[in-house]
Amino acid sequence: MIIADKNTKAVDLVRAALDKAKEFEDYHCFISMNEARALDKAREIDEKIARGEKVGRLAGVPYALKDNYLSPEGVTTAAARMLDNFPSPITATAVAKLEAEGAIMIGRANLDAYAHGSSTENSYFGPTLNAHNKSRVAGGSSGGSAAAVALGIVPFALGSDTGGSIRQPASYNGVWGMKPTYGTVSRYGVVAMASSTDVMGCLANNADDVDLVMSIIAGKDPKDSTTLDNFWNRELEDAKPKKKKIGIIKDFLGDGVNPEVIKTVRDYAEKMKKAGFEVEEVEMPIMKYGLAIYYIVQPAEVASNLSRYDGIRYGHRSNEAKDLDSIYSMSRDEGFMPENKRRIMIGNFVLSSGFYDAYYLKAQKARTLLINAYNEAFEKYDALLCAVAPAPAFKFGEKTDDPLQMYMEDVMSVPPSMAGLPALAAPAGTSKEGLPIGIQLIGPRKSDQMLINIAKSVEEVA
């Protein structure tokens, strides 16, 4: 990415991004723009450079912020009516770290409301169009972030990933997306979805930019006690795969997966061989249960996290409500999208007495089996390879009538989330119709930079 310096003005970088955002307005990447403040901040940076003062590692770099991050400019909506007038009183740690390095937020990117969805069709403000084909979805939930990067509006965007929300839209739009190890980046100041798998990450056009942005936003934060000590503090070259062995997850090369997607994964495996890796298929039968585990645990956590929206302290309050109880229930009916309600209700179902053992407890036990299967695989392999999603971007409306079909989109992306593992989505091919297809590399905890290096070495032979 281009960083501002004596020869490149931050104002020009920001203005170019804002112009492009206007040019591609019909893609609906953004919920709101941050034009005036972005230009002010760019001018400040240019003045600093002119005075010979030190500027940050991302000086003058424009970026898109997924609209579930809190920051004082404008409102943070999480793409839900519930928060459509929520001026954030605090700043997310990841945002503060980027701003401290001189990055400039030009707009708030669209998402599925509360990050519940795989297409951005669940946004209260309308869907984002795919950067490569306007009749297709951008994916989700970080669809606005992915399309903004793919269209060249910004060199990078922040996203959040609970079960695939960075990787799947990255794959659908042909950009890179990093879902880091659980705990890498502070969750402070981001609208919570499912706390045991929520991670903050980024989308960008190349591996080095992913590494740079992640190295800045990673690290321990006293405001999020689940954050890890910063392991992203070494040079990228220092994180090398040791075994030079990769496992392709065989269970994701069969039924229900688009043949073009399978071909892309196999082609990628061939490139890996050329790059010096030994590649073999590995059977992981537990993988096919990943989605069921996720759609028990995640709604349960969603139900808990979204119980805070009561129409009292902040967020939408129904005008029709007459008493306290109806403020709660009517504000929640009006403020949430249908998918939010389904997840809350499923969550309360699996947690309710009589069903807890059969669903919630069962899923958390199955989660242990899933983690064990990964641990076993990583004794043999540096990383695992599979596609990000079973097919390229689908058409608008194709899956909106059947929530379960939409969930199937997440079948390959949720297993690493349930295990807290890093997963890197990288562009790998294009379908006959011209739609991008991505692969993902999954590694042991804290192997994030190694995954980036593996992908880079494959890119070099291609």
Partner 1 sequence: MAITREDVSHLAKLSNISLNEKQIEPLMKDLGNIVGYISQLDELDTEGVEPTYQCFDMQNVWREDVIEEFEANREDLLNLTVESEDYQIKVPRVL
> Is 342 a binder of partner 1 (CB under 8 A)?
yes
DSSP states along 219-280: S-BTTBTTPPP----S-GGG---SS-EEEEEGGGSSTTS-HHHHHHHHHHHHHHHHTT-EEE
Span interacting with partner 1, options 27-35, 56-64, 121-129, 339-347, rule CB under 8 A: 339-347
* Residue closer to partner 1, measured from CB, 253 or 351: 351
# of chain residues touching partner 1 (CB under 8 A): 69
Among 57, 250, 317, 456, binds partner 1 (CB under 8 A): 317
DSSP states along 179-192: EPPTTSB--TTB--
Closest contact distance (angstroms) between CB of 60 and partner 1 is: 25
> Is 262 a binder of partner 1 (CB under 8 A)?
no
* Residues between 389 and 408 with contacts to partner 1, criterion CB under 8 A: 402-404, 407
Closest contact distance (angstroms) between CB of 177 and partner 1 is: 20
φ, ψ of residue 451 in degrees (nearest 5): -60, -40
Written as one letter, the residue type at 242 is K
Span interacting with partner 1, options 131-139, 151-159, 325-333, 424-432, rule CB under 8 A: 325-333
Among 16, 253, 262, 292, binds partner 1 (CB under 8 A): 292
- Angle, helices 207-217 vs 93-100, to 10°: value is 110
Helices (H), 106-176: 143-150, 167-173
> Is 258 a binder of partner 1 (CB under 8 A)?
no
Written as one letter, the residue type at 40 is D
Q: How far apart are CA 202 and CA 232, in angstroms?
A: 14
* Residues between 355 and 374 with contacts to partner 1, criterion CB under 8 A: 358-359, 361-369, 371
Q: How far is CA 190 from CA 7, 19, 194, 414, in A?
A: 36, 28, 12, 20
* Residue closer to partner 1, measured from CB, 299 or 438: 299
Q: How far apart are CA 297 and CA 32, in angstroms?
A: 32
Taking the CB of residue 116, how many other CB atoms lie within 10 A of it?
32
> Is 308 a binder of partner 1 (CB under 8 A)?
no
* Residue closer to partner 1, measured from CB, 253 or 292: 292
Fill in the per-residue mask, 410 to 449: x = in contact with partner 1 (CB under 8 A), - = not in contact. --------xxx-----------------------------
* Residues between 30 and 69 with contacts to partner 1, criterion CB under 8 A: none
Closest contact distance (angstroms) between CB of 248 and partner 1 is: 23
Q: How far apart are CA 20 and CA 152, in angstroms?
A: 8
Q: How many whole angstroms from its chain centre is CA 451? A: 17
Closest contact distance (angstroms) between CB of 198 and partner 1 is: 11
Q: How far apart are CA 58 and CA 102, in angstroms?
A: 5
Q: Are 296 and 263 in contact (CB under 8 A)?
A: no
Q: Are 201 and 185 in contact (CB under 8 A)?
A: yes
As annotated, the active-site residues are 66, 141, 165
Closest contact distance (angstroms) between CB of 243 and partner 1 is: 23
* Residues between 183 and 242 with contacts to partner 1, criterion CB under 8 A: 183, 196, 222, 225-226, 228
Span interacting with partner 1, options 37-45, 142-150, 256-264, 327-335, rule CB under 8 A: 327-335
Q: Are 162 and 70 in contact (CB under 8 A)?
A: no
* Residue closer to partner 1, measured from CB, 293 or 426: 293
Among 314, 390, 398, 456, binds partner 1 (CB under 8 A): 314
Closest contact distance (angstroms) between CB of 360 and partner 1 is: 9
Written as one letter, the residue type at 53 is E
> Is 100 a binder of partner 1 (CB under 8 A)?
no
Query: What are the helix and strand counts (H, E) for the chain?
Result: 14, 13
* Residue closer to partner 1, measured from CB, 86 or 252: 86
> Is 27 a binder of partner 1 (CB under 8 A)?
no
Query: What residues have CB less than 8 Å from 182, skipping those under 6 apart?
Result: 196, 197, 199, 226, 420, 421, 445
Residues that bind partner 1 (CB under 8 A): 86-87, 89-91, 182-183, 196, 222, 225-226, 228, 286, 289, 291-293, 295-296, 303, 307, 310-315, 317, 321-324, 326-330, 332-333, 336, 338, 341-342, 344-346, 348-350, 352, 358-359, 361-369, 371, 402-404, 407, 418-420
